[in-house]
Amino acid sequence: MRIFMERDVTEPQITGVRCNLCGKDVNKNALGYLEDHISLSKTWGYHSPYDGEAHDIDICVACYKDLVQRFEIPPSIA
Compute the mean pLDDT over every residue in the chain, rounded to the nearest whole number: 93
Give 2's pLDDT tier (boundaries 50, 70, 90). Answer: confident
Helices H / strands E in the chain, number of each = 1, 2
Among candidate residues 6, 8, 28, the one with its CA nearest the CA of residue 16: 28
CA pair distance 75, 58, nearest whole angstrom: 17
Q: What is the pTM of this model?
A: 0.76
